[in-house]
């Protein structure tokens, strides 16, 4: 999972790109970068760390040009290291090309092997670099035809932005797994993962980029083409974007994330009501489902768990040790709210179980009389191969424990998940979502080698 953005035909393209990355920070905290075309070459600014660590106004001012792309990374294929920072830039036939990618390819190993056998030399261990090599080998003088031919070879999830001199190219896979939208800003155009980046940059939302669509943007001109078969393809939007990953103020997949999460919470209450003194959300991703749960049940909503906002998202930390540490310092209960109370704790998901177990222990120490956990999605029992780091069934607690066993492990008085049918019932396009992490039914063939480090010999 990553955040991507591209800006075209704007005199301060790099600054707009950096602002957009601030809005997309929740999509990746490992590294950030910008590539900007200055009229002769592509200049880059990138490093490991948060957007605020990588960019300041003085640094961004050095990137001059009217077209730029940006990226914030949460690694899924390829380790978290300096060589895998995006945008990734190469030079071919004396022309610079930069790419930023959100998603995960499922035929990475096959394409990588084929390209190496044909003489390609790789600089990174990301699947994203494969796309650039395919483009370089496929240069036939017709840019649009070239992109169609290359992207037709890719399997899996991809939302992409490219910088080819002063042209911005944006593309989305045929299933539409990851979000991507188009906006307009001061005579220029902006492409980004979520609409919250449009809001921050004062851009006007135009529309979502269609699954399988490729946009070629140069100056104030846009041309659209489609990957063959895209318009007939059944869509498979990632439902976990709505449950957890996207910002609640974003509109994705033709719906508002805040409203979706409220509806999930209300449906959860219908399915698993329990008598209690109050409802407490686990901030921040459980907030909106808790509002829906409380409104549906009539139970008072209490903000009894306080988040330290100077700590990042625990789920997207690269190691379990870091996740455990983040949990302890990120959330702190208000003892006055929990003491001697029967509480319903509403959270968006349980992945490995260790985070929930640690939280419940803290809530017990704060004096909660009963703790009933309610989860606004079904049990996550299957790994994701499309851009979310659920790498193995062994790490997913619901793949080898029943709901009661999970309840016993995290030490709650009761545990209930939202049903699959209930979850899909509140979606505007309920038949257009990927729910493989709950069901094991994958919309795109999964890779033979499932390792995050499959290109690193590990």
Structural domain contains residue 19 = yes
Q: Hey, is 175 helix, strand or coil?
A: coil
Q: What is the pLDDT of residue 1?
A: 77
- Catalytic residue from among 2, 36, 196, 238: 2
Same domain for 297 and 410? yes
Lowest mean pLDDT among 85-94, 131-140, 210-219: 131-140
Q: How are beta strands 370-375 and 414-417 bridged, if at all?
A: parallel
For the domain that residue 362 is a member of, what is the CATH number? 3.40.50.2020
Does 86 share its domain with 204? yes
Q: Is residue 422 domain-resident?
A: yes
Output the pLDDT for position 182: 98
Look at residue 72 in the predicted model and tell me its pLDDT: 97
How far is residue 120's CA from residue 343's CA, in Å, rounded to a whole number?
Answer: 58
Closest Cα to residue 288, out of 266, 306, 315, 307? 266
The answer to whether the CB of 116 falls within 8 A of the CB of 133 is no
Judge if 228 and 328 occupy the same domain. Answer: no
Interior CA angle at 175 toward 172 and 179, to 5°?
A: 50
Least confident of 54-58, 172-176, 193-197: 54-58
Secondary structure (DSSP) of 180-242: -EEEEETTEEEEESSHHHHHHTTPEEEEEPPTTEEEEEETTEEEEEE-TTGGGSPP-EEHHII
Q: In sequence order, which residues have a C-beta less than 8 Å from that of residue 356 and are 6 or more positions away?
A: 347, 350, 373, 410
Residues 6+ apart with CB under 8 A from 378: 417, 418, 419, 420, 423, 435, 438
pLDDT in tens, 240-266: 999 999 999 999 999 999 999 999 999
377 is catalytic: no
Range of the domain at 53: 2-236
Q: Summarize the confidence of residues 30-59 as an average pLDDT.
A: 92
213 and 137 part of one domain? yes
**Residue 440 forms part of a structural domain:** no
Q: Which two tokens stand for residue 100?
A: 């930023």
The pLDDT-based confidence of 458 (bands split at 50, 70, 90) is: very low
End-to-end CA distance of the chain: 21
DSSP 315: T
Phi, psi angle pair for 289, to nearest 5°: -65, -35
HSE-CB of 336 using CA atoms within 13 angstroms:
3
Same domain, 131 and 12: yes
Distances (CA, A) of 181 to 120, 210, 346: 33, 9, 30
Can you give the C-alpha Rg of the chain in angstroms? 22
Position 201 scores a pLDDT of: 96
Q: Are 78 and 227 contained in the same domain?
A: yes
Mean pLDDT of 108-113: 92
pLDDT number for residue 395: 87
State pLDDT tens for residues 180-230: 999 999 989 999 999 999 999 999 999 999 999 999 999 989 999 999 999
The answer to the question of residue 244 being in a domain is no
Prediction pTM value: 0.92
Same domain (yes/no): 272, 379 = yes
Shared-domain flag, residues 382 and 265: yes
Say yes or no to pLDDT of 59 above 90: no
| Average pLDDT, integer, range 2-7 | 97
Q: What is the pLDDT of residues 359-402, one digit of tens each?
A: 999 999 999 999 999 999 999 999 999 998 776 888 899 999 99
What mean pLDDT is reported for the chain? 92
Q: Are residues 158 and 288 located together in one domain of the fold?
A: no
Nearest to 5 by CA among 173, 203, 142, 154: 203
Domain boundary residue among 236, 253, 287? 236
343 and 229 in a single domain? The answer is no
Q: Is the pLDDT of residue 294 over 70?
A: yes
**Considering only CA atoms, which of 218, 270, 277 is closest in space to residue 66?**
218
Q: Per the domain annotation, does 229 fall within a domain? A: yes
What pLDDT is recorded for position 77?
67
Segment 161-187 shows an average pLDDT of 96
Residue 48 DSSP SS3: strand
- CATH number of the domain within which 8 lies: 3.60.20.10
**172: Cα separation from own chain's centroid:** 14
pLDDT exceeds 60 at position 313: no
Nearest Cα residue to 344 out of 273, 423, 243, 418: 273
Q: Which of 236, 271, 292 is the last residue of a domain?
A: 236
Please check whether residue 446 lies inside any domain of the structure. Answer: no
Between the alpha carbon of residue 29 and those of residues 16, 26, 54, 278, 402, the distances in Å are 19, 7, 11, 34, 33
Which residues does 97 contact at the CB level (< 8 Å), separation at least 6? 42, 89, 90, 91, 132, 135, 136, 162, 163, 164
Least confident of 12-21, 430-439, 447-456: 447-456
The structural domain count of the chain equals: 2
Question: Is the separation of the CB atoms in 383 and 437 below 8 Å?
Answer: yes
Alpha helices in 99-170 (DSSP H): 108-117, 128-137, 143-151
DSSP code of residue 451 = -
Q: What's residue 174's pLDDT?
A: 98
- Give the model confidence (pLDDT) of 340-361 as tens digits: 999 999 999 999 999 999 999 9
> How confident is the model at residue 119, as a pLDDT?
87
Whether 161 maps to a domain, the answer reads: yes
Residue 247 lies in a domain: no
The pLDDT, as a whole number, for residue 325 is 58
Separation of CA 438 from chain center? 17
- Residue 364, number of CB atoms within 10 A of its CB: 15
Is residue 25 packed enough to be buried (19+ CB in 10 Å), middle (13-18) or exposed (0-12)? Answer: middle
Tokens 């980029």: give the residue. 209
Residues 328 and 205 occupy one common structural domain: no
Residue 225 and residue 230: Cα distance in Å, rounded? 10
18 and 166 belong to one structural domain: yes
């Amino acid at each position: 999972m990553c955040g991507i953005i591209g800006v075209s035909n704007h005199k301060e393209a790099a600054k707009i790109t950096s602002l957009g990355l601030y809005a997309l920070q929740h999509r990746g905290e490992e590294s950030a970068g910008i590539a900007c075309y200055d009229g002769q070459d592509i200049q880059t600014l990138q490093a490991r760390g948060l957007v605020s660590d990588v960019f300041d106004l003085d640094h961004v001012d050095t990137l001059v040009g009217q077209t730029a792309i940006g990226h914030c990374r949460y690694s899924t294929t390829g380790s978290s290291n300096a060589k895998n920072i995006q945008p990734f830039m190469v030079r071919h036939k004396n022309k610079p090309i930069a790419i930023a990618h959100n998603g995960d390819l499922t035929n990475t190993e096959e394409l990588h092997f084929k390209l190496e056998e044909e003489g390609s030399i790789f600089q990174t261990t990301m699947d994203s670099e494969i796309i650039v090599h395919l483009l370089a080998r496929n240069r036939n003088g017709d840019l649009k035809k070239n992109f169609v031919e290359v992207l037709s070879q890719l399997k899996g999830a991809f939302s992409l932005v490219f910088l080819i001199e002063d042209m911005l190219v944006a593309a989305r896979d045929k299933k539409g797994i990851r979000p991507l939208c188009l906006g307009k800003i001061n005579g220029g155009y902006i492409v980004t993962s979520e609409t919250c980046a449009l809001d921050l940059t004062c851009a006007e939302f135009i529309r979502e980029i269609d699954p399988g669509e490729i946009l070629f943007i140069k100056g104030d001109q846009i041309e659209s083409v489609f990957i063959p078969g895209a318009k007939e393809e059944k869509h498979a939007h990632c439902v976990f974007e709505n449950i957890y990953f996207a910002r609640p103020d974003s509109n994705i997949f033709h719906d508002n994330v805040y409203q979706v999460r409220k509806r999930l919470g209300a449906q959860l209450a219908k399915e698993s009501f329990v008598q209690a003194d109050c409802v407490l959300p686990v901030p921040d991703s459980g907030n909106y489902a808790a509002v829906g749960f409380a409104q549906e049940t009539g139970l008072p909503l209490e903000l009894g768990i306080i988040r330290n906002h100077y700590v990042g998202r625990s789920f997207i930390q690269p190691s379990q040790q870091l996740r455990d540490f983040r949990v302890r310092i990120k959330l702190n209960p208000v003892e006055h709210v929990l003491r001697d109370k029967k509480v319903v704790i509403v959270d968006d998901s349980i992945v490995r179980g260790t985070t929930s177990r640690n939280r419940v222990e803290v809530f017990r120490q704060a004096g909660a009389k009963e703790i009933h956990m309610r989860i606004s999605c079904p049990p996550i029992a299957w790994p994701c191969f499309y851009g979310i780091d659920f790498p193995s069934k062994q790490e997913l607690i619901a793949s080898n424990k029943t709901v009661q066993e999970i309840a016993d492990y995290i030490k709650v008085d009761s545990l209930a998940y939202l049903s699959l049918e209930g979850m899909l019932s509140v979606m505007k396009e309920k038949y257009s979502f990927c729910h493989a992490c709950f069901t094991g039914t994958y919309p795109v063939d999964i890779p033979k080698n499932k390792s995050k480090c499959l290109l690193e010999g590990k």
